[in-house]
Amino acid sequence: MTERIVIVGGGQAAASCIAALRSSKAAMTITLVGEEDHLPYRRPPLSKAALVDGPSVESLLIRPKDWYEGVELKLGRRACEIARKDGRVILSDGEQLAYDKLVFCSGSRARQLSDKLGGNLEGVHTLRSIADAERLRSELVSGRRVLVVGGGYIGLEVAASARKHGLSVLLVEAGERILGRVASSATAQYLRSIHESRGVEIRETTGVQLLAGDKRATHAILTDGSEHAVDIVVVGIGGLANDEIASSAGLETSNGIVVDAYCKTADPNIFAAGDCATFPFGDRSIRLESVQNATDQGEVVAASLTGREKAYAPVPWFWSDQYETKLQIVGIAHGHDDIIVRPGQRDNARSIWYFRQNELIAVDAINDPASYMAGRRLLTAKINPDRANIADPNFPLATMLAAAR
Amino acid sequence: MPQITWRDVDGAIIEAEVPHGKTLMEAAVNAGVKGIYGDCGGALACATCHVIPDDDWADRVGKPGAMEEEMLDMVDGIRAPTSRLSCQIRSSEELDGLILNVPGGG
């Protein structure tokens, strides 16, 4: 029997799932529903290189157009409703697609600053899509003043890109420090000092009280009482899972569509992968917004769909580029109770090793790819390194990997 | 247009014409070369586009940069003296006829 597979959402997870489904050579038809007009493309560069050089759709595409031959493409349309009883997806233009298996790769969207705070004024940007990047890029003109709201990766990357364009940058973070949810204070402090040395003003424990202006945001009042004239505001305050239609269809959601280690929902015909999925990780459930997670979960879904089930047990990894600084992260530092800062082999290189109950759980590597790679291999092989060795900058990490070879 | 040949993880031969300036990682992904993922899109962040040029080609392909060198040093699987991350190699006339081996295990 030829199975009809419908993928809702056209990003990194979808592209990965399609690639893996095809290589399985199982008899199936694949339909891809994507809200944007574009084929699946890479989002990470949108806040980095693409914001400096201008985004080029062609260079961002994960696969070229002809690669999708044989996949039915329904782009520029949204899935509005899932009728699970009779296995149909209803699209925004009224078309109905029958499915045997449905895969949510619906991603996440940027959390917006509320209208009450002026989030709906012109000149206030969020950054998720090529269209967002094009809009923002066109406003990055030397001499302008940009307020970046949120000291997460997107906010910091936008700050770096804006400085490259010669804008003045004020970045505010409502939490105690930048990267509060995602990195140690050692990493945050280092990145903070790099930004400050490049002329970015960073104010922590400071939020937006109000953005004001007639039509366009022209000034900002901050929670520290200060007032600033602004030309552009970029809001990077996190992402929300696109899980509403799953929820409306009666599937369990909790900060994302709830799936098991095989990316299955409670409905045996429905799966989810990537930013939109909440999955078991250790003793809790998490949702990740990353290329690694989208790619690997896309493959896990394909494996489940073709009867070669494999449980998802990731060693998550991420990266960020800010100015000439490369940050590479492996593992999840959540719940760490100790860190070791290890100087790297060259200037401006260092790594931060995170431990929980004496067990290595994550590494942040700053301009230090060797430590990143070593950390990735140790975590993958579940080798717990001797902390004294990590703390000794002259100890060659490669020797610890002998067992992992 | 420069022609590039890959010997993939399973030993299969894949050939493609690669426009000038395009990275050999992108070209490999587009051509469906098994074992080349390019997960980070060429940001030198993931080391999933490892290739080993045939010996005769090593000089023309060139040496890795410092960051690339560090990643290769710790790459999963076999690292050869001529190993490169193919996101850091761009197609050019000089590379017409290049043969790249894709090592297993990374």
Mean pLDDT value across residues A275-295? 96
Q: Which amino acid is at A199?
A: G
pLDDT category of residue A54 using cuts at 50, 70 and 90:
confident
Q: Give the integer Cα–Cα distance in Å for A261 and A281.
A: 9
Burial of A111 (0-12, 13-18, 19+ CB in 10 A): middle
What's the confidence (pLDDT) of residue B76? 78
The angle that helices A12-24 and A291-305 make with each other, rounded to 10 degrees, is 30
Mean pLDDT value across residues A28-57? 93
Second CATH level (architecture) for the domain A324-404: 2-Layer Sandwich (3.30)
The class of domain B3-101 in CATH terms is: alpha beta
pLDDT at A254 over 90: yes
Q: A339-370 pLDDT, tens per residue?
A: 999 999 888 999 999 999 999 999 999 999 99
The lowest-confidence range among A2-6, A260-264, B29-33, B73-77 is B73-77
What's the confidence (pLDDT) of residue B105? 55
Q: A117-126 pLDDT, tens per residue?
A: 999 999 999 9
pLDDT at A223 over 50: yes
What's the confidence (pLDDT) of residue A113? 97
Q: Which two tokens mark A317?
A: 């990894």
pTM score: 0.94
Residues of B in contact with A328 (CB under 8 A): 45
Cross-chain CB nearest to A291 (options B32, B40, B44):
B40
Q: Give the integer Cα–Cα distance in Å for B1 and B93.
A: 7
DSSP 8-class letter at B29: H
Cross-chain CB nearest to B74 (options A63, A291, A370):
A370
- Rounded to the nearest angstrom, the minimum Cα separation between B94 and chain A is 23
Is residue A159 within 8 Å of A320, Cβ to Cβ? no
Interface test with B, best of A18, A346, A367, A372 (most B CBs within 10 A): A372
The lowest-confidence range among A40-49, A107-116, A214-223 is A40-49
Mean pLDDT value across residues A265-279? 98
What's the confidence (pLDDT) of residue B106? 43
The class of domain A3-109+240-305 in CATH terms is: alpha beta
B41·A42 Cβ contact <8 A: yes
Q: What angle do CA B99, A12, A320 make, to 5 degrees?
A: 85
Topology of domain A115-235, CATH? FAD/NAD(P)-binding domain (3.50.50)
Cross-chain CB nearest to B75 (options A48, A317, A373):
A373
pLDDT at A249 over 80: yes
The verdict on B40 touching A (C-beta cutoff 8 Å) is yes
The verdict on B75 touching A (C-beta cutoff 8 Å) is yes
- Rounded to the nearest angstrom, the minimum Cα separation between A351 and chain B is 14
- Residues of chain A within CATH 3.50.50.60 domain(s) are 3-109+240-305, 115-235
pLDDT category of residue A403 using cuts at 50, 70 and 90:
low
Find the chain A residues whose C-beta atoms sit closer than 8 A to any C-beta of B. 42, 44-45, 48, 60, 62-64, 67, 291-292, 295, 317, 319, 321, 326, 328, 345-346, 367-370, 372-374, 377, 397-398, 401
The verdict on B21 touching A (C-beta cutoff 8 Å) is no
What lies within 8 Å, CB to CB, of B59 at 6+ separation is none
How many other CB atoms are found less than 10 A from the CB of residue A280?
A: 15
Cross-chain CB nearest to A328 (options B29, B41, B45):
B45
A:B CB pairs within 8 Å? 60
Q: Give the integer Cα–Cα distance in Å for A390 and A265.
A: 41
In whole numbers, what is the pLDDT of chain A averaged over residues? Answer: 95
Q: B27-42 pLDDT, tens per residue?
A: 999 898 999 999 998 9
pLDDT category of residue A181 using cuts at 50, 70 and 90:
confident
- Report which of B60, B88, B37, B46 is spatially closest to residue A23, judged by C-alpha positions: B37
Residue of A nearest to B106 (CA): A377
Q: Give the integer Cα–Cα distance in Å for A41 and A330.
A: 23
Cross-chain CB nearest to A369 (options B32, B70, B76):
B70
pLDDT category of residue A161 using cuts at 50, 70 and 90:
very high
Q: Spell out the alpha helix ranges (H) of A129-217.
A: 130-139, 153-164, 185-197
The verdict on B74 touching A (C-beta cutoff 8 Å) is yes
Mean pLDDT value across residues A385-391? 94
Residue of B nearest to A322 (CA): B43
A45·B75 Cβ contact <8 A: no
- Report which of A167, A168, A175, A129 is spatially closest to residue A150, judged by C-alpha positions: A175
Interface test with A, best of B67, B70, B83, B85 (most A CBs within 10 A): B70
Q: Find where tokens 């999955």 sit.
A: A279
B73·A370 Cβ contact <8 A: yes
DSSP A375-402: HHHHHHTT----HHHHH-TTS-GGGGGG
Which ipTM did the prediction report?
A: 0.90
Mean pLDDT value across residues A90-94? 96
- Rounded to the nearest angstrom, the minimum Cα separation between A4 and chain B is 24
Mean pLDDT value across residues A201-218? 97
Cross-chain CB nearest to A326 (options B37, B39, B67):
B67
Q: Give the integer Cα–Cα distance in Å for B76 and A107.
A: 30
B74·A346 Cβ contact <8 A: no
B44·A369 Cβ contact <8 A: yes
Q: B46-67 pLDDT, tens per residue?
A: 999 999 999 999 999 999 999 9
